[in-house]
A and B are shown apart, each in its own frame.
Chain A
Amino acid sequence: MPVDFAALRRELEGRQGRRYWRGLDELAQRPEVQAFLEAEFPGAAPQLDRRRFLQLMGASLAMAGLAACGETPEQAVPYVEQPENLIPGRPLWYASAVPFAGYAQPVLGKTHAGRPTKLEGNPDHPLSAGACDAFTQAAVLQLYDPDRSQAPRYKGRESSWAAFQRAIAQYRPRLDAEQGRGLHLVCGASSSPTLARQLDALRQRWPRARLYHGEAFAESARYAATRAAFGEPLETRLYLDKAEVVLTLDDDLLGPGPRQTPLQRGWAQRRRAAAEGQGEASLYAVEALPGLTGAAARERLALAPSQLPALAWALAAVLGEPVVADPDLAPATRAWVERVAAHLQAARGRSLISAGAHLPVAVQALVQRLNQRLGNLGITVDHAAPVLLGHADEAPWEDLASLSDRLRAGEVECLLLLDCNPVYSAPDALGLVDAFTRAPLRLHVGPYYDESAAHCQWHLALAHPLESWSDVRGVDGSACLVQPLVRPLYSARSLHEILALCLEDREPDGLALVRETWREVDETAWRAALARGLVEPAAAPRPVPPALAPQPDADGQAAGEAGGRLELRIAPDPCVWDGRFANLGWLQELPKPFSKLTWDNVVGLSPALAERYGVANGDLLEVSLGDRRLRGPAWIEPGQAETLVALYAGYGRSRAGRVGNGLGYRAAALLARDGGVDGLDVRLAPVGERVELASTQLHHALDGRDLLRSMSRADAARTPAPPRELPTLYRSVTPEGPQWGMSIDLDLCTGCNACVTACQAENNIAVVGKEQVAAGRAMHWLRIDHYYEGGLDAPRSAFQPVPCMHCEQAPCETGCPVSATVHGHDGLNEMVYNRCIGTRTCSSFCPYKVRRFNWYDWNAQDAPSLEAQRNPNVSVRGRGVMEKCTYCVQRISEARIEAKKAGRPIADGEVRTACQQTCPSGAIVFGDLADPASAVNRARDSARRYALLEELNTRPRTTYLARLDDEPGEGAEHG
């Protein structure tokens, strides 16, 4: 919107008396002036729709970003002498880590000519072992997000670091004089030792400064629980690889979150061992919402959150916990609890109970005690010093409610928001937005000019982890080094540099600040640590005293009476979490595991509740809690607790950026002051409007079809029959050279989506926007189908990743009139983009519908930006051509070239597809079918092996291993 100078003049002239104004800054209260100051493209921005924006994404980046890429941006001349290790066309790998909710996600970053293009899990780090989750995969996109904050801003207008330095230098003596009184810092979750050191220094210098937790879905209650049980806050570490019988109490261990990758790895390890006959791998899940843990569990119990404490106490009673009263439970639930308890007890020392961080502290403490009672301590669960900052007993940080009170009391002089966005994520009930103005000086440090930044005078652009120095701890307490893969694309700085700027009037050096923390590490060890990405191994387990017997609070006894009353649960979104990833197209377009929805959050209802209110998917609902209300589209979630209304955070953002703005509703609007939702009356009311939602899968009821198979352990253990060969008229091709094939173990797939995002990052897959997804034009080469089996209220969920099957008798190949899709000598079903004219016959003939068509020129105008992130070894497809999974043919070629140069055959495991590499469960195995000893052949040599739609005789190269069925009740007999 162009600034209306005439209106400004009128505004000034209309004033009575003398009025001073300094530039536009003061006048900038007016919304149109604000918009003028903030718009990247005045005049153009309001007309940009999302698609258009996605196309335009790079204009700004091309100018601001590319110049900063590469090794030596200052000298725009070709290399006279080739820098060491930099060979054009060969990527370089750097070990680093990407923090997520304060915990490290160890990565290896791939850079092409100085541009980071892809992240993989760090194989040297025990937490990752080469795997990572979808969020981590998408971190590289965030690096190139042109909506990231590009420079410091003062009152919304671009400023400079020098100006900030001057401003803070003027302010510092005041803080020094009053020992930091009035300085209040809100921090996002962090585990950085360097940040800890800096904050310690800050507190030493300004002891009266106060710190607060600003993380939206912090798991602080876990520390409170260990304090209640063991007297001190501790990190609780779970070892699912050793846990043969696991009970989760509304704790989505396998679901998205900072500990997903290691937990999923552990679970898969256990599952795999059990399949080989070493012990069992039984997972029982009690869940309020459909979660990935419940989907993987042998038995899942849907239970409203209010009932959970009662169940926990009942379990304790059955396990012989003496002190607790036995609450009332429904007979069926009680029987279930008794059966599970028997199974847990039978597996003493090999079992595990875990409780969700949102459960009452007493319940979590009880679970700690039960684990101790079951002899699991030190085997399947242990404890260590808290990883996240601000939880140690010496100087715990406070919560936002206290900040709100202090703001209102006028105690806050200077408010510093460090990498958090409380204006968006904090409960409206706190009234932070109004209270903010009570603080005279407000500073925001963050990667985006977000909702909180807009309420601060100073916004300091935070550099992306891939372009700055830092350190961060993983969930096991190990410390990872964060090293830049590229120079900062924008004028942004790391958290450490910004804190250093606040503390002293000196140009900070990010590397030096981190090095200072690790000064005991000598230079050789430091170099080695940088190369491995790991500077300090996992913390040693800390012995704990016998857990105190927790006393049930009122909640525990109040079960049963909640019947019929609506309950509310606000969960982080599985794809954009608390909203921090809202501006990443990959994650917005990533289908949510169960609903397969994209680009929106919904109000999840159980089928029974939907029936009661007469709503269908997409009907707009008004949800109110007390006097707060919001509107969101309904979505029926089979398997959700009957009386539960589920809301998802991460949406309803106004300043996420052009991709994430204005999608969905903001769940925090409903939260109570303490961030909870309990004890208030939840009301639902259909509004009578409909919202169009974009889901990639509309039918989920398997209804006896054998697309996704499962079999009993006894059947699976049988010697595999040779695969059935249906007769064919086509001549069989004698294979020469490697014959690529893939095996996907459905028993290990948890539906976590990591592979989908990895594939998108690796293969330059376009993001198409909500409207196009709704039209059925999502471009993912690899999709994860989700199916329900069984009743509407308690269905079993299962996931099935579907890449191209690379059929040996491929229907698509006979369909193409111009031979644009052909069979390679190594068995790949290859796509020749140049030759494709777009008849779509191949896709019509493909029974798996894995082919994706470029209905528009998805990439036409965003080329400059994505040039920076794109994989240079993968063609970017133009309008009107078909594309599909290639088995990462670029990786195969790379390996073939290397092998040829060395004069050897390609070794088994040398080629790993992007999906395979990132899968935390290791469910995907890829390799040479012609080599009898290859991993893929070993995996396929199983009675569980089946081909999808094998009756069509397409002879797919991608085959599946059926899920293993644990018969309900089977485990109890063991006990």
Chain B
Amino acid sequence: MAEWRSSDLPPPGPILHGTGHFLPRDLSDQEVSRRILDVAHQFPRPRAWWCLFGLGGVLLGLYLLSVIVLFWNGVGVWGNNTPVNWAFDILNYIWWLGIGHAGTFISALLLLLERPWRNSLNRLAELMTLMAVVCAGLYPILHLGRPWLFYWTMPYPNSMGLWPQFKSPTAWDMFAVVTYLVVSALFLYLGALPDFAAARDRARRRGAQVAYGLLALGWRGSNRQWGHWRRAYRAIALLAVPLVFAVSSGYSFLMALGDQAGWHSTVFPPYFVAGAVFSGFALVSLIAIGLRWLLCIEALITPRHLDMLGRLLLATGWMTAYGYFADVFMAFYSGDRHEIDVTMARLAGPTAWSFWLAIGCNVGLLQALWWRRVRQSPRALAAVALAVLVGMWAERFMLLITPQTTDHLLSAWRGYTPSFWEISLFIGSFGVFIVPFSLFIRFVPMVSAFELKQVLHREREARHG
């Protein structure tokens, strides 16, 4: 088979507003299979893939080095101090975990709401979720003073006769992350099961046949299997949707349950859910734009899909903006000296850059998405999405770190500067994301082929009567 180029496909043509799936009408099942399932057997852009994988590898190496330095010396290699007990560690944990939420949102919520256009995006979104949860979940372990004892936060029968302290939001976090990790892994795997079977059937090499065969768990596409599968998939989706809200509320409690002014606020849980999904949509957009080029699947992830992502970004962005507004307003409205101190530090203190960067990226630049041309242009949308990711990181900085630098007691006010190993660990965590991610896109169908076929089939049925 010749090298694939995106030009092989007919141009997408005018956007079809009538369909729920945003796909070209004349896309055949064979074409879908060829485009999606054969990627594993013959990758369209191997050089670009190797570049990505190589970059991921370097970053992963940096990550491992940073972890070794950290474990050898202790948390002191970071810039944390008293009062800034939590800095990049919890900041990046929240950032990564928030990103993960969009994947679940797209896959599970839209599945339950029966939005067929999700089928082009759900697989990559779920994968992103899983990777982001891994990146996030490592942070709470790494940030411990004695990381080798992290399992003490789990409820397990032990000779000490001790349970975790169930009142602690830090313990909730552990439960939340572990649950979330399990559910997103299951959701991803279960959702890909029919596609693994299809890949198995199309595989020509023995090794690939065996590997995909094992992964497919003996899927044969019987009606009975489809029935079970559908129930299981929807059941997990039903579990996953509340998790989106529970997990991000959970880590918002990490702050909101503390007495710290600037943290201790009831707006935090919804504020964090919105922010989490917002940042997640940004990364989904970015990955979708990258993958449609890398895998030559512009026909499957269409500008219409991008348009939809853009709208979601805009909507969740405004919810987040409301959070900013409510937070600042409530601080002054309460008249509480500590709240006002913290808010003034956010607006004009030494770390005010984080507030204004967040506003600029998450509220200012975002408004470009009111224009459809921006939403549908891959480059423009990618730029906005990148800005949102940066902005959300700055927002987490502003929310988490600035209040700690402006504690209740004036005498404890102190700034914070990240150390080299703290920054390197963060940059390295992209390696933790990219390396497995690139392996996945190399070997796992990145668009849910059977679901695409299903919606296409349904539409054809409807058209032809």
A856-B73 contact, Cβ under 8 Å, with A698-B413, A775-B81, A840-B85 = yes
**A171 contacts the other chain (CB 8 A):** no
B51-80 interface mask toward A, CB cutoff 8 Å, 1 = contact, 0 = none? 000000000000000000000011110011
Contacts of A852 in B (CB 8 A): 82
Contacts of A853 in B (CB 8 A): 75, 82, 85, 145
Q: Chain B at the A interface: mostly helix, strand, loop or mixed?
A: loop
B407-426 interface mask toward A, CB cutoff 8 Å, 1 = contact, 0 = none? 11111111110000000000
Contacts of B145 in A (CB 8 A): 836-840, 853-854, 879-882
Asked if A817 and B258 make an inter-chain contact with CB atoms under 8 angstroms apart, the answer reads no
Residue of B nearest to A784 (CB): B411
Query: In the assembled complex, how far is the CB of residue B331 from the closest CB belonging to chain A, in whole angstroms?
Result: 15
**B404 contacts the other chain (CB 8 A):** yes
8 Å CB interface, A840-861 against B: 840-841, 843-849, 851-857
**B76 contact from A777, A800, A837, A849, Cβ within 8 A:** A777
Asked if B146 and A844 make an inter-chain contact with CB atoms under 8 angstroms apart, the answer reads no
CA distance A838 to B146 in the complex (A): 6
Asked if B86 and A707 make an inter-chain contact with CB atoms under 8 angstroms apart, the answer reads no
Query: In the assembled complex, how far is the CB of residue B26 from the closest CB belonging to chain A, in whole angstroms?
Result: 57
**A954 contacts the other chain (CB 8 A):** yes
Asked if A844 and B86 make an inter-chain contact with CB atoms under 8 angstroms apart, the answer reads yes
**B146 contact from A787, A814, A837, A949, Cβ within 8 A:** A837
Query: In the assembled complex, how far is the CB of residue A595 from the closest CB belonging to chain B, in whole angstroms?
Result: 13
**B168 contact from A775, A776, A787, A814, Cβ within 8 A:** A814
Asked if A845 and B259 make an inter-chain contact with CB atoms under 8 angstroms apart, the answer reads yes
**B337 contact from A705, A776, A846, Cβ within 8 A:** A705
Asked if B411 and A787 make an inter-chain contact with CB atoms under 8 angstroms apart, the answer reads yes
Asked if B168 and A841 make an inter-chain contact with CB atoms under 8 angstroms apart, the answer reads yes
Contacts of A378 in B (CB 8 A): none
**B152 contacts the other chain (CB 8 A):** yes
**A749 contacts the other chain (CB 8 A):** no
Can you list 20 A-B contacts (CB < 8 A)?
Answer: A698-B415, A699-B411, A800-B411, A802-B411, A817-B164, A817-B165, A817-B171, A836-B145, A837-B152, A838-B144, A839-B140, A839-B170, A840-B80, A844-B86, A845-B260, A847-B259, A848-B409, A849-B409, A853-B145, A856-B73
Asked if B153 and A817 make an inter-chain contact with CB atoms under 8 angstroms apart, the answer reads yes
CA distance A72 to B147 in the complex (A): 45
8 Å CB interface, A942-973 against B: 948-949, 952, 954
CA distance A840 to B81 in the complex (A): 10
How many chain B residues touch the partner (CB < 8 A)? 50
Asked if A815 and B408 make an inter-chain contact with CB atoms under 8 angstroms apart, the answer reads no
**A618 contacts the other chain (CB 8 A):** no
**A702 contacts the other chain (CB 8 A):** yes
Query: In the assembled complex, how far is the CB of residue B365 from the closest CB belonging to chain A, in whole angstroms?
Result: 32
Asked if A845 and B150 make an inter-chain contact with CB atoms under 8 angstroms apart, the answer reads no
Query: In the assembled complex, how far is the CB of residue A119 from the closest CB belonging to chain B, in whole angstroms?
Result: 28
Asked if B144 and A776 make an inter-chain contact with CB atoms under 8 angstroms apart, the answer reads no
Q: Which of A839, A851, A852, A954 has the most CB of B within 10 A?
A: A839
Asked if B260 and A856 make an inter-chain contact with CB atoms under 8 angstroms apart, the answer reads no
Asked if A847 and B407 make an inter-chain contact with CB atoms under 8 angstroms apart, the answer reads yes
Binding site for B on A (CB under 8 A): 697-703, 705, 707, 772, 775-777, 783, 785-787, 800, 802, 811, 814-819, 835-841, 843-849, 851-857, 879-882, 948-949, 952, 954
CA distance A882 to B144 in the complex (A): 11
**A777 contact from B81, B143, B152, B167, Cβ within 8 A:** B81
Residue of B nearest to A696 (CB): B411
Asked if A785 and B409 make an inter-chain contact with CB atoms under 8 angstroms apart, the answer reads yes
**B258 contact from A776, A787, A844, Cβ within 8 A:** A844
Asked if B174 and A817 make an inter-chain contact with CB atoms under 8 angstroms apart, the answer reads yes
Asked if A952 and B408 make an inter-chain contact with CB atoms under 8 angstroms apart, the answer reads yes
**B169 contacts the other chain (CB 8 A):** yes
CA distance A638 to B36 in the complex (A): 72
**B2 contacts the other chain (CB 8 A):** no
**B85 contact from A705, A785, A843, A857, Cβ within 8 A:** A843
Binding site for A on B (CB under 8 A): 73-76, 79-86, 140, 143-147, 149-150, 152-153, 162-165, 167-171, 173-174, 254, 257-260, 337, 404, 407-416
Asked if B407 and A815 make an inter-chain contact with CB atoms under 8 angstroms apart, the answer reads no
CA distance A506 to B260 in the complex (A): 70
Asked if A849 and B162 make an inter-chain contact with CB atoms under 8 angstroms apart, the answer reads no
A952-B259 contact, Cβ under 8 Å, with A814-B168, A837-B150, A855-B74 = yes
**A849 contact from B73, B150, B412, Cβ within 8 A:** B412
Asked if A855 and B144 make an inter-chain contact with CB atoms under 8 angstroms apart, the answer reads no
Contacts of A851 in B (CB 8 A): 82
Asked if A845 and B414 make an inter-chain contact with CB atoms under 8 angstroms apart, the answer reads no
Asked if B74 and A880 make an inter-chain contact with CB atoms under 8 angstroms apart, the answer reads yes
Residue of A nearest to B75 (CB): A855
Q: Which of A783, A836, A838 has the most CB of B within 10 A?
A: A838
Residue of A nearest to B146 (CB): A880
Contacts of B168 in A (CB 8 A): 814-817, 841
CA distance A777 to B410 in the complex (A): 17
A954-B74 contact, Cβ under 8 Å, with A837-B146, A837-B153, A838-B144 = no
Contacts of A703 in B (CB 8 A): 410
Asked if A837 and B409 make an inter-chain contact with CB atoms under 8 angstroms apart, the answer reads no
Contacts of A954 in B (CB 8 A): 259
**A843 contact from B82, B174, B257, B413, Cβ within 8 A:** B82
Residue of A nearest to B148 (CB): A837
A819-B85 contact, Cβ under 8 Å, with A855-B76, A855-B80 = no
CA distance A705 to B259 in the complex (A): 18
Query: In the assembled complex, how far is the CB of residue B147 from the closest CB belonging to chain A, in whole angstroms?
Result: 8
Contacts of A787 in B (CB 8 A): 410-411
Asked if A857 and B409 make an inter-chain contact with CB atoms under 8 angstroms apart, the answer reads no
**A699 contact from B80, B413, B416, Cβ within 8 A:** B413
Having A838-B144, A854-B74, one finds 18 other A-B pairs with CB under 8 Å, namely A705-B410, A775-B81, A814-B257, A815-B258, A817-B168, A840-B85, A841-B170, A841-B258, A843-B82, A844-B86, A845-B258, A851-B82, A854-B145, A855-B80, A879-B74, A879-B146, A880-B75, A952-B408
Contacts of A776 in B (CB 8 A): 81-84, 414, 416
Asked if A881 and B259 make an inter-chain contact with CB atoms under 8 angstroms apart, the answer reads no
Query: In the assembled complex, how far is the CB of residue A653 from the closest CB belonging to chain B, in whole angstroms?
Result: 28
CA distance A856 to B337 in the complex (A): 35
Query: In the assembled complex, how far is the CB of residue B189 from the closest CB belonging to chain A, in whole angstroms?
Result: 29
CA distance A849 to B171 in the complex (A): 22
